[in-house]
Structure 1
């Protein structure tokens, strides 16, 4: 397919999403089934265009002065891809499979309009109802913070020290453009171009041998900041597919007891194969059945890790479709879920033990406000200073402290500040 034909396909897919109100992944699959002639490279390029449109949905429509699939695609080409009006006009020449030629109004918008006077929710490309929440989190910087969450994310990997070493993994994955991450001492990063297909990491020998796992650098740091140590009893209370469970196991060096569980047993399905590939032998996966899978463990754990259910606002750059599908009721439900899981964790921690509370959200209700409410309910817990929490970064800790947002309640990473997904981390201790 020509670049122009791919552009037409992207407009068609955006229309499917709009008209059928279905997730982007479903719309792309539906289009691919109906257009089997499109090769894998074509499908990857079209998906890249579609997701870039979703990242810049509001700003693109505002720039063009019209909210249609075509307008969003044209506006995205200027805002996200950096195309000027002349380059866009060459793609939209009306030839076979190409979009119709630009109108005079479209040319004028592409040449002269900017986002300088756009409202924050438009320039930052987020739902307007979230403006107050983001203003509480970031103040006047919310537009820039949200804009950073609208950019394409790199592919990050974590080196599993139970199977390999950073230097060797870096050398073996150099052909994919891998480089060390700026913060995580075990991270590798592969930056992807706009039209690039994601590299086949799962076919790489290092992945098959369990040397590397796909994990955003922010998630790696969140696991590191839990301070899990060899010989401890650690509970991963919301283990899901096991990303942080694997990181915790490596930190524990195979010593101690690691218990992984989740309220939703379907989320745990991939964890067994991942633990086996990673060489983890001290993990006990407890699937919820009848009764409490953690019965008898009250007051016994050194560390309880909560990778809390949340709105996922910090992962918008990886899942831009989600921000437009998010509703206020979902935030309210997540806040209730988080309070419940924090209270469950409190009962599991022994004197001197810790709770590490983690969200992939930037919203205050899920982060600092949640921690303050927990301490009010459980005055026998106290928050550990974030400057203490980030000490495992060693010499990088000073620069990280300047980049991240630290408060009495915890620390917040964002794409704009730390180049990671948005993650909040708070570590609380139950005194002896």
Structure 2
């Protein structure tokens, strides 16, 4: 946790409390959207105020279990100020003399800072079930992965090579007071030197880049697309990887972006227009007949499967409190079905890439092994396991499979 000191105003603390309450105690409210709404409602906050609220919000979510231990109480919707006070004290900030903090015993909280954690789950601020799951699937290495996943993610952007190049984009952003650095081994990636709102930049509005983690950028390259190919992105969502494929194909050929959610595909269309990506068509998968008609039609198929998202906890720390073992069992069954159904879309000698942003073998290599055991006409030709502890980026898995 950061030790920066900042003068806190009461409305900042009240806004922070409301955002935490909404994120934790209202179903289907995700941290990024909750924070976005809070900042929109408080346009008069300066950049330092917004930075304080944003960082505190995410760090309290990330370290919830530790903070509960130090505060000696479980977070509930009527005691969030206790957790905020504990967070401030842990970061060596003074507790402001606000009415919300009147009943908080600072001395008792500080005394608990000296106590050892009762478990690794508390130390790494994760649920007990998640510690057990990671330990069972990853062995002792789960500790290194969890350490890495508790480090806040940097903002990484992908250069849209349909419109510009990395050098040109870096100069354009510098003119807009956005400093970036190259990342060795990632030719189209730039990392921001500090957190700032880049969506208001002219460079973004002109479609010169998209926000996309370095690990995620490897998926499109792994598919080995070429200009002129017919490619299906079968779980396209809002299209981050679809847009990358369009750039890699130099706008030549055809990409068919599929998803069960029409609203996500509408977002993809808007992004494609901004990116100048003209070789993308979208189609909502409303029934099994749609997939049936697409069998044996694609040179390349990308299955960016729905998953637990455990590889991206650095940027989505609220996910660990919303997940449970039952969800993971359900998603594993769903992944099996998606892989089986969408594998039929690829032509003979074509490539299929199965990818997730999870680090659990049960969602990754075990799924591929199960699929190959039931489909002898497919063969694994390559796989990548990107672990946060060694890459310093998001955790990802990708398997390249050829249809013989």
Normalization by structure 1: what TM-score? 0.81
- Quick one: structure 1 residues 96 and 76, their matched pair in 2 at CA, closer, same or farther if it must change by over 3 Å? closer
Once residues 266 and 43 of structure 2 are traced to their aligned partners in structure 1, the CA distance between those partners, rounded to angstroms, is 34
Q: Equivalences for 1:18-417 in 2 at 5 Å?
A: 23=29, 25=31, 39=45, 41=47, 42-68=49-75, 69-77=80-88, 83=91, 87-88=92-93, 91-94=94-97, 102-110=105-113, 112-113=114-115, 115=117, 118-174=118-174, 175-192=177-194, 198-199=196-197, 201-289=198-286, 292-385=289-382, 410-417=383-390
- Secondary structure of 2:158's aligned partner: strand
Check 1:120–1:78 CA distance in 2 against 1; reply closer, same or farther (3 A cut): farther
Equivalent residues of 2:85, 2:95 under 8 A apart: no
* Contact 1:231-1:252 at 8 Å conserved across structures: yes
Change over 3 Å in CA distance of 1:298–1:374 after alignment to 2: same
Residues matched between the structures, number? 390
**Greater mean deviation of Cα atoms: 338-347 or 133-142:** 133-142
Give the Cα–Cα distance (whole angstroms) in 2 for the partners of residues 383 and 50 of structure 1: 43
Measure, in 1, the Cα distance between the counterparts of 2:227 and 2:137: 36
Report deviation, 1:232.
1.9
Q: Provide the rounded CA distance (Å) in 2 between the counterparts of 1:381 and 1:191.
A: 44
Q: For residues 76 and 138 of structure 1, do their structure 2 counterparts lie closer, same or farther at Cα, with a shift above 3 Å needed? A: farther
Distance 2:273 2:30 in 1: 33
User: Within 2, Cα distance between the matches of 1:28 and 1:307?
Assistant: 27
- List per-residue Cα deviations over 1:31-69 (Å, max 9, x = no partner): 779x86962543552232122111011122224444343
Q: Is the 8 A contact 1:124 1:147 kept in 2?
A: yes
Q: How does the TM-score come out when normalised to structure 2?
A: 0.86
Q: Aligned partners of 1:113, 1:191: CA distance in 2, in Å? A: 36
1: distance between equivalents of 2:392 and 2:89?
A: 23
Separation in 2, partners of 1:427, 1:292: 26
Question: How far off is 1:23 after superposition?
Answer: 3.2
Shift of 1:169: 0.6
Matches of 1:172 and 1:37 in 2, distance apart?
A: 27
Equivalent position of 2:3 in the other structure: none
CA contact (8 A) 2:156 2:212 kept: yes
Q: Which residue does the alignment assign to 1:3?
A: 8
The C-alpha deviation readout for 1:266-318, integer Å capped at 9, x for no partner, is 22111112112222222222233566334433223221001101121222222
1:430 pairs with 2:403? yes
Aligned alpha-carbon RMSD (Å): 2.9
Give distance in 2, aligned partners of 1:340 and 1:166.
39
Distance 1:381 1:291 in 2: 22
Shift of the alpha carbon at 1:249? Answer: 0.9
Q: Would you say the 8 A contact 2:70–2:109 is kept in 1? A: no
Q: Distance in 1 between matches of 2:288 and 2:26?
A: 41
Gaps in structure 1 of 5+ consecutive residues? 386-409
- Give the 3-state SS of the residue equivalent to 2:263 in structure 1: coil
SS in 1 for 2:336: helix
SS of 1:176's equivalent?
A: coil
CA apart distance, 1:426:
1.0
Q: Does the C-alpha gap of structure 1 residues 243 and 97 become closer, same or farther in structure 2, counting only changes over 3 Å?
A: same
Contact between 2:265 and 2:284, CA under 8 Å: does it hold in 1? yes
- Name the CA distance, whole Å, in 2 between partners of 1:183 and 1:4: 44
For the 8 Å contact 2:86–2:109, the answer to whether it is kept is no
